[in-house]
A = this chain, B = another copy of it.
Amino acid sequence: MNKPLILVVEDDRAIRKLITTTLETQGYLYHTAETGAAAIFESVSQKPDMIILDLGLPDVDGVEIIKNVRQWSNLPIIVVSARSEDRDKIDALDAGADDYLTKPFSVEELLARLRVSLRRIHYENGKILKDSNVFVNAALKIDYAAGCVWLDGEEIHLTPIEYKLLCLLAKNVGKVLTHNFILHEIWGSYTSDVPALRVFMATLRKKIENNSSKSKYIQTHIGVGYRMVQVSEDGKIL
């Protein structure tokens, strides 16, 4: 129950097996994903405590997955890759990865680096105490690490998509995000289902704007997209 949950993203069956059995010996819980699309989905739905990511996936570049996850979470990402070029390492690390191991790697080293990351999210004594990297906008508060949202000091429940949507807007405060950009970031694939986006935006708004302070965090830019504005007391600041 309070063991850390690790998402293993690796398309090579042998290596995946190697990693998962290693994790089992340490008592860690895990999920697996063989494609980038599955990785995105699992990371949202399962809310793992950290991700072990192979860069060489069949469908999308691993760096894209890192960027996607970083839109809504700071959970540790350890890259395990066959690419040993500096450029690859730097790109992955700057995209938001926390560590980078090149294949072939020692399972002992992987475990040690895993412990480093777990330490970072304060995994101690069987209890996960995530560090708090929070976004604050007037009465709205997002704790990225914990994956929680607070409004007027009260926690509100958001579904996975609503949460990602809110994080995406929050991480780009002041910027207008086009429909296609949002769709691409949230769903990963190239859907152009704008009506669906509208529905989610409506439910999200109902949850975060129907409160005592009648703040309007989300503006719609007709024909373009949406943007979150920084609210201060009553006026807007860039």
Instruction: List residues of chain A with CB under 8 Å of any chain B CB.
Output: 86, 89-90, 93-94, 96-100, 106, 108-109, 111-113, 115-116, 119-120, 122, 130, 132-133, 143, 145-148, 155, 159-160, 174-176, 221-224, 227, 236, 238
Contacts and interface: CB of A to CB of B under 8 A. Distances in A.
Contacts of A112: 89-90, 93-94
14 contacts: A89-B109, A89-B112, A90-B108, A90-B111, A93-B112, A93-B116, A98-B120, A120-B120, A130-B174, A132-B175, A143-B238, A146-B238, A147-B175, A147-B224
Which secondary structure characterizes the binding site on chain A? mixed
A176 B159 contact: no
Contacts of A176: 146-148
A159 B113 contact: no
Contact of A113 (B93, B132, B227): B93
A51 to B, nearest CB: 15
A115 to B, nearest CB: 6
A135 to B, nearest CB: 12
Given A147-B175, A155-B236, A159-B222, 10 more contacts: A90-B111, A90-B112, A93-B112, A120-B120, A122-B133, A146-B175, A147-B176, A147-B221, A147-B224, A160-B224
A77 to B, nearest CB: 10
A94 B115 contact: yes
A90 B116 contact: no
A94 B127 CA distance: 14
Nearest to A115: B94
Given A93-B112, A146-B238, A223 B159 contact: yes
Nearest to A117: B98
A86 B108 contact: yes
A129 to B, nearest CB: 10
A190 B96 CA distance: 43
Contacts of A236: 155
A198 to B, nearest CB: 17
B89 A227 contact: no
A143 B155 CA distance: 30
Contacts of A115: 93-94
Nearest 7 A-B pairs (CB), nearest first? A147-B176, A93-B112, A90-B112, A160-B223, A146-B175, A86-B106, A86-B108
